[in-house]
Amino acid sequence: MAARPLMPTARRPRPGFGLLGPRRGRHELLPEQFDALELPVGDDGVVIGADPNGTPAVLGIGRPAPYEIVLVGGAWTAQVIALRAVATGARVAVETGRRELWTPLAQAANSGQQSITLHDVGRVPPQGPSVHSPVLVVRDCGVRPPRGRAGAAPWQAVLTLLPYPGPTTPRLLSGADLVGVQRVSPDEARGMGRSMGLPPDDVETLSTLPDGVTLWCTRTARTYVATTPTEPETGLLGAARRME
């Protein structure tokens, strides 16, 4: 008797494509539940700390327009910002007369690529910023920084670090898009208050700020931000401090 050819086994059709996944409830909300849905929305950028409510404070350095930042404070905070900027994919160029202060940071960040480059004062070459490769230029050039060759440009923000207010500070503040102020003397606080239009309470607070706390402000808004280092940042930079 001749063998019968094998016929394919009939399979029950299954809806959809691919493997059947786990059974879970659908991600749906009723219209009356919409008010309970909250999403934190803000600029993409570098998380530089938390505000008094514990909300992450984000510094958006990758912008399609020039962005000027002035920080009257310590190098520690500028270094934390530089390190976190690298973590977001930005390149950092540091213009400084204190190479010994920035060299350990650059060596730690440059694992396999030049993420942080150090340059003498007035010697920063063109950085070629782009939407895919934003740049942060940190100018650590003392209390009277000369005019820089690498200025703010699309996708290139400039952070000018001032250890304390000086003769050129009012000019720098007037051209800044964002100003950060750490602990200063009462007289310096009054000068910063006049330049930035700060209310008396903030002027008084500036001379008592703890290490790691910065008042970030514009002409129309301000907030205090506490920068807490991560464990690797503490191992590299040490604890928060106002002065080196």
Range of the domain at 156: 49-236
What's the pLDDT band for 32 if we cut at 50, 70, 90? low
* Contact in structure between 171 and 144 (CB atoms under 8 Å): no
67 in any annotated domain: yes
* Contact in structure between 79 and 102 (CB atoms under 8 Å): yes
**Mean pLDDT computed over every residue of the chain:** 87
107 in any annotated domain: yes
For residue 84, what is the domain's CATH number? 3.40.50.300
What's the pLDDT band for 14 if we cut at 50, 70, 90? very low
131 in any annotated domain: yes
Beta strands in 14-81 (DSSP E): 46-50, 56-59, 67-72
Domain count, the chain: 1
54 in any annotated domain: yes
Task: Give residue 21's pLDDT.
Answer: 43
pLDDT tens readout for residues 86-143: 999 999 999 999 999 999 999 999 876 789 999 999 999 999 999 999 999 999 999 9
218 in any annotated domain: yes
9 in any annotated domain: no
23 in any annotated domain: no
